[in-house]
Structures are given as C-alpha cells and as structure tokens.
Structure 1
C-alpha cells in the first residue's frame, strides 16, 4: 500500500488557504466526507496583520487561531491552545467515517511533532487520503515526515480533485 498523501504550495500569502478551502467546499458538495481544517484569513487593513481562523471540516465551527499581540509585536501570532483545540475537534470527527483529510498547513508545530501531525499519521494508517498545504519554510521537515513519499500537486482545485479521483480509480481497479 502506498502512502496516499499530497501536498500543495501556492506563491501568494494566503493563496494555499484559499485553494484548500475551495477544494473542501467542492468535495463536500460532491458528497465526500471531508475532515480537517481550512484556514480563512480576515484582512484587517494595511497596518494590522490578518486574523487567522480555521473552519473545522466539513461545516464548522470556526476557531480563531491567531492572537492579537499589539501593533509593535514581531513574534508568532499563532495561539497554540486554539490550535490544539482545533486538533482535538478534528480528531473527534475522524471517528465518524472520512473520505479525505485536508490540513491547511504543515507548519512549525507539525515540523516539531505537534499540531496535526498525529492526525495525519492516523489517517494514513487508516488508508484515508490526505491533502496538506505546505510552505517552503517547512517543506524539508514535511518531506522527512512523509519519507519523501508525498506527491506534490499544484495549488489548483481541479488538479487536487483529480489527484484524489485518481486514488479512487487505482484503489477500485482489479488487482
């Protein structure tokens, strides 16, 4: 059994999030049982960083994973406790039958062995296909985690859906 995991990376800030959110919506509309998180960024203007929320797939709730550190702050704005709350919610939903796991980002927490890393492993062990957003900063850690077996797919809803459909076709083909 090969590892059923794809990753995608887009150039613009927040573009990977948009692609994965649209993919999750399309798959849900097609009747697939999605699980995971899609990130929704709210623009707060030129002088403030965006607010980061994740939608627990398939249909919510939304969880704010960023924290306001003030206008002069330069540190990471991720709220670790909010992220772990989202992880717990996804873990609970994984038990209800899932066709695909979508994770908005393999980030610093995942690179360090936390965050959604264990859920990704559980899905792969259960032969649930996984699609993950990755940024260049964490690509090497992601490739180590997947032992180089993850498939890169361009940040395009049609191409990601086609990758997933291709898995279905290969898994249903006679041996």
Structure 2
C-alpha cells in the first residue's frame, strides 16, 4: 500500500495543509489511550535524543508491544561534524545509510532523500500492521516542506497508529503548525516518555507479561473474582449487580480451559465481568506464592498527613489512619467527596492512595493521569505486585499473596469482603527503588 499526499510542494503552506488534514483526519485511538496521536521529543541544538528513543523502543519491545518505523544514529568525526546518518528498521533490524558524503567544507544537509525513501518501507509496514507505536526518526526541514516522511506521518494518524518522533527546538513553531496543534511536546527523558505513553496502556502491558499456564480454578463471587494456578492466586473486584453485562457467563464451568494467557487477554473485553476476570488472571501471574516482598499497610505508604493526601476509596478506618486526608468515593459518606471531585483534588495532591478496585472498574488510568504529579500508592487485594506498574506513575503497590487457596476460594464464593480475604493471605508491598 502506498500513501500519498496530493499536491505536496516545497513550501510552508504544505505544513499548514497537513495541519488541517491532521485535525480532520479520523482519529482511531488505540484502546484505553488518551495521548495525542503524535508525540514529539524536543531537543536542543546538537543533542538529538537518538539513544533515548532507542532505549524507549527497547523497553516497550521487551514488554511485548508491537513497534515499527525507524531509529536514527548520527555519526560524527572528532570535530563534531556529521559524517553519516543511519537508520535502523525496527521490524527487521536492518541498518541503512541515509547520509551522503559532501566533503568537509560543505555546510549543506547530508540527508540522502532517495535512501530515506527506501527506508520508509519499514514505516509503511508498521502502518499496515497497525503497530502499537510508530517511530519516525526525526522531523526536519524536509518534513516541514512536505517531503521526507511527512506523508507517512499523516497516513499513520489517519489509520489510528500513534507516532513518536524527535523535533529540534528551533522547529517547534513549524512542528506545531505542521501538526495543527495535535501533538504533545515531550522532554528528552525516559520518565517523560512513559508519561506520554500513558497509563491507558497499563492493561495491555500487564496482559503482555502473563506467561501461559493451566488454570486450576475460577471463582466469581458477589464481591471478588478469583483465578488460581499452580503458582499463584489473583483477585479482582467483581462488578456490582446491575452493571451492564451482568448476564450468565458464556462457557461457565469451562472458562479456565483456554489457559491463563487467554484469560488475561480479557482485560481488553468490553464486558465488565470479563474485564474483572482478566484482571484476576493477570494478578494470578504476578502475585505468586514464592514472591518475596515485605508486608506493611499500603495505606500508610508515605506517612503524609493532613490535606496533602487524597484517598480514592472509603477504606475502613481511613479517617483514623490518615487524619485530614480527603476521601473520594462513589458512594460518599459524611465528610467525604463524590467521585467527580477527583478531577480537581488529584492534580493538587502531594500523595494519593488509590484502591486497586479501580483497575477492575477501568477508572485507574484516568486517576493515574490526574495524579501524575503526586506520589501514588495502589492498595487492595486486587493490586498487581509487578514492577510494570512503576512506569505508569505508581510508587507503591500493596496487595495480597494467597497462603490458603482453598480457604480463599470459600471466602470469595461466600461473598466475603476484603477483611475476609486477608485471613487466607499475607500482605505484600512492592516499592519503587529510591533514585
């Protein structure tokens, strides 16, 4: 498939035209993703973030995300003069030179447009396969004028494929005009890249990391859903009765026959009860019996008292544990805030405690986005004990590891609450290492 922009000419007007088309292009966003379709790492003169983008791509690939496009490497001599530019096709690993030798006295751009056109095949393959993320090595004057990979960027956005590129600081104005403002400017750091990638990707990340194995038991109780394997038990809060989709489950009695990996994939389902089952399956992989983590009460993760703490979920005794904390709940009691208050409380909070039940009801990504400037702890029986969480703004994850699976299954089947589950489990807390 070949993507073409009609009547592209080497003028700034092309950028304006592309900006208009980006604004009007159908944005087919990836699941649970709220970031702009195009992210741009802004860098100062002479310091392109090539190694940074390569590292970010390596981390995403290691977590099972499907990537495509080009990563650039600029070669320089001892004086700092560019001697060559190469790009690596992410899908094939093939390295191609896109530079041309112009001599030491030349100050012209060394980009070889024909070589770049050959390398663009990797970009088109990523678009056609709907990759999770497309890397465009750089936005330069060529793209600004409608040449280079400008058309591929537009094609990717039109097909709903997120794009990440690098933009020199001197071209910010031209880049913004090129994209019509449909972009996010990103600082050149891994932390900033992960913030742009966004907590909406968390479910896919968790499911990607699950290794397949046989499922021993599935229990869907009034309050909790449980998945058991030979190596661990996972829990997730069951949606309330009356939730859309609360119907007889298909293949009841055989849900676990497909294996743990297939159950974990249910986190992408549109059915709330399957989503909870998928989350429990993920936790069955991560919250293993042999996981060695300290205990501790996650509600007291940061020791922050007073108005700087916001708690999502009316944990029992929370007012006494964290006096002065602002408590947000879907069914607020006296002195508590309704769930809508999270919109203005979380961005200003110093510390945020979030019930892990928000993972099952799908509100966690938005809450993590709102709390991106705070220290965040995820607390509750459904908290995954995995370092994958730490990339999405979670500093502490405090959950349960089963010690008596049979007793736990009985408590779930009999409609037990979180307090009942703790009798058959041990508390465990994962913390982000100190910098």
TM-score (norm. length: structure 2): 0.37
Matching residue of 1:115: 148
**Residues 24 and 58 of structure 1: CA distance in aligned 2, closer, same or farther (over 3 Å):** farther
Matching residue of 2:106: 73
Matching residue of 2:97: 64
* Distance in 1 of aligned mates of 2:122 and 2:63: 23
Number of residues paired by the alignment?
A: 174
Matching residue of 2:195: 162
The root-mean-square deviation of aligned C-alpha atoms, in Å, is 2.4
The one-character-per-residue Cα deviations of 1:23-80 (angstroms, maximum 9, x if unpaired) are 1111111111111111112233227523210111144211111111112212111111
The one-character-per-residue Cα deviations of 1:122-142 (angstroms, maximum 9, x if unpaired) are 221222221111012332221
**Residues 21 and 47 of structure 1: CA distance in aligned 2, closer, same or farther (over 3 Å):** closer
- Larger RCO (CA within 8 A; separation ≥ 6): 1
In the TM superposition, residue 12 of structure 1 has moved relative to its aligned partner by: 5.4
Matching residue of 1:45: 78
Matching residue of 1:96: 129
Matching residue of 2:183: 150
Query: Do 1:44 and 1:51's aligned partners in 2 also have CA atoms closer than 8 Å?
Result: no
Matching residue of 2:166: 133
Structure 1 unaligned runs (5+)?
none
* Distance in 2 of aligned mates of 1:79 and 1:125: 27
Query: Do 1:7 and 1:153's aligned partners in 2 also have CA atoms closer than 8 Å?
Result: yes
Q: Where does 1:5-44 land on structure 2 (aligned, <5 Å)?
A: 5-11=38-44, 13-44=46-77
* Distance in 2 of aligned mates of 1:15 and 1:34: 21
In the TM superposition, residue 167 of structure 1 has moved relative to its aligned partner by: 4.3
* Distance in 2 of aligned mates of 1:117 and 1:45: 32
**Residues 34 and 47 of structure 1: CA distance in aligned 2, closer, same or farther (over 3 Å):** closer
**Residues 167 and 101 of structure 1: CA distance in aligned 2, closer, same or farther (over 3 Å):** farther
TM-score (norm. length: structure 1): 0.86
Query: Do 1:38 and 1:55's aligned partners in 2 also have CA atoms closer than 8 Å?
Result: yes
In the TM superposition, residue 152 of structure 1 has moved relative to its aligned partner by: 1.2
4+ residue segments displaced more than 6 Å: none
* Distance in 2 of aligned mates of 1:80 and 1:142: 20
Please tell me whether Structure 1 or Structure 2 has the larger radius of gyration of its CA atoms: 2
Query: Do 1:38 and 1:54's aligned partners in 2 also have CA atoms closer than 8 Å?
Result: yes
**Residues 47 and 15 of structure 1: CA distance in aligned 2, closer, same or farther (over 3 Å):** closer
Moved more, 25-34 or 88-97: 88-97
Matching residue of 2:222: none
Q: Does 1:4 align with 2:37?
A: yes
* Distance in 2 of aligned mates of 1:22 and 1:14: 16
Structure 2 unaligned runs (5+)?
1-26, 28-33, 204-267, 269-361, 364-435
